[in-house]
Each structure stands twice: as structure tokens, then as C-alpha cells.
Chain A
Amino acid sequence: DVKVTQSSRYLVKRTGEKVFLECVQDMDHENMFWYRQDPGLGLRLIYFSYDVKMKEKGDIPEGYSVSREKKERFSLILESASTNQTSMYLCASSPFGTGLNEQFFGPGTRLTVL
């Protein structure tokens, strides 16, 4: 059974703190993604990685960075958390290839920045 796990379901942080969100997948997938989901805006891609140590900016990378040191793990870092980064963060993975690959999502981390 495919599985994507995220380190926390709920997180509360203060403005200016450095925040780490961890994602682990056990499917040996090459591709991993970080999204944020906000009401009315859908899922927006923050960063994407197609291989270890490789990363690509998504639509809204400002204020975020990522790390992929191992194939199964993809971390999202908020360098200095701000209130407008309060959101649901979803990690996903998919196998390498073109077109029709399903993305498998983790349960999400609801982050509140005070």
C-alpha cells in the first residue's frame, strides 16, 4: 500500500521562526512535490524535485526553500515564517515518467503562524 507521511498534522509557530516540514514516501518515487492549499485558490505548487538534490521552483516559491538529500524524503523550509504562510501544506510523490502518473498525497500539515 502506497504511503506518504508528513511529520505533523498541526503546527503552530510564531512570526519569524524557522519552520521545517518533513515528507517521507515509501514508494521509491522519483518525483516529490510541495503544495499549499487555501480556500478558493486550490492547490498551488511551491517546489518540486525530480531526483535527489534536484529541485525546481513552482508557482509560489518566495519565502520557502526545500531539501532533498535522500530519495524518500523531501523537506520544506520556511526561512522566517510570516502570517501569510498560514495554510494547509500537502506533500505528494509520483513515479518518474511522462503524462499520466498519479500523484499520491500525504495527509497534510495545517500550519498556523501567529
Chain B
Amino acid sequence: RKEVEQDPGPFNVPEGATVAFNCTYSNSASQSFFWYRQDCRKEPKLLMSVYSSGNEDGRFTAQLNRASQYISLLIRDSKLSDSATYLCVVNRMDSSYKLIFGSGTRLLVRP
């Protein structure tokens, strides 16, 4: 079983739609959680950290469910520019500053 699992997609949605991705992680002792965004042929960049209380940044909302060991990302009012691959990232237990990356969920927003 992979340490971090994501649905690869693609999720194909119209502009203005709301879309949600989930990600599951295997190590219940993980402490830090992130969503990174990776555009086609570009490097990953931090989108947002995920806190126990959840957090929101504009149209993006991240939630953590420790009991079920999953992280979610909700995107409201999708824009064409949201088309990208979204990587779920969890810290390693042997080193808090080493990260485990999921293989990503691809989002396509169509006009």
C-alpha cells in the first residue's frame, strides 16, 4: 500500500463548478499535511498547508480527518487557471522536514 494515495483523475469540470479531491495516508502518526500544485511541465509549488481545524484561502478549502486518515481539497468557482495536478503531501515520521508526495490528481477546467 502506498503511503499517500490519490485518485489520479482527470477530473474534468466546467468553469464555475465546485470540485473536491481526497487523499488518504497510511501513517496515523503523521503530523504535517500540505497540498502542492504542479502545472504541466513545471515544478510543484505549495498551495496550502492543512491544519487540524481546516483552513480556507479564497476559493480553496482544505480539511483534515485524522480518524479516517484523509485530507481533502475543495475548489469553489473553478477557473480555467486552476487546471493543474494537485499533490497531496505528508511529512515523514523519521524526519519532520522530509515529505512524502502523492502521485497527484489531475484537474481540467473547461470553458
- Chain A residues engaging chain B, CB cutoff 8 angstroms: 31, 33, 35, 40-43, 45, 48, 50, 56, 58, 90, 94, 96-103, 105-108
A41 and B101 CA atoms in complex are apart in Å by 9
A42 touching B102, Cβ below 8 Å? yes
Instruction: Knowing A48-B98, A99-B96, A100-B49 are in contact, say whether A40-B8 is a contact too (CB < 8 A).
Output: yes
- With A40-B103, A48-B98 known, 15 other A-B pairs at CB within 8 A are A42-B87, A42-B101, A42-B102, A42-B103, A90-B44, A97-B97, A99-B31, A99-B91, A100-B32, A101-B97, A102-B34, A103-B99, A105-B44, A107-B42, A108-B42
Residues of chain B within 8 A (CB-CB) of A43 are 44, 87, 101
Q: Which 4 A-B pairs have the closest CB atoms?
A: A42-B103, A105-B43, A43-B101, A98-B96
A96 and B97 CA atoms in complex are apart in Å by 8
Task: Give the number of chain B interface residues (Cβ < 8 Å).
Answer: 22
Could you give 23 example pairs across A and B, Cβ below 8 Å?
Answer: A42-B101, A42-B102, A42-B103, A42-B104, A43-B44, A43-B101, A45-B98, A50-B97, A90-B43, A90-B44, A98-B96, A98-B97, A99-B31, A99-B91, A99-B96, A100-B49, A101-B97, A102-B34, A103-B99, A105-B43, A105-B44, A105-B45, A108-B42
Mask: chain B, 37-79; 1 = CB below 8 Å from A; 0 = not: 0000011111001000000000000000000000000000000
A31 and B91 CA atoms in complex are apart in Å by 15
B104 touching A94, Cβ below 8 Å? no
Residues of chain A within 8 A (CB-CB) of B101 are 35, 42-43
A102 and B102 CA atoms in complex are apart in Å by 16
Residues of chain A within 8 A (CB-CB) of B96 are 98-99
Instruction: Knowing A40-B8, A41-B103 are in contact, say whether A107-B43 is a contact too (CB < 8 A).
Output: yes
B98 touching A99, Cβ below 8 Å? no
Shortest Cβ gap from B62 to chain A (Å): 13
Residues of chain A within 8 A (CB-CB) of B103 are 40-42
Residues of chain A within 8 A (CB-CB) of B49 are 100
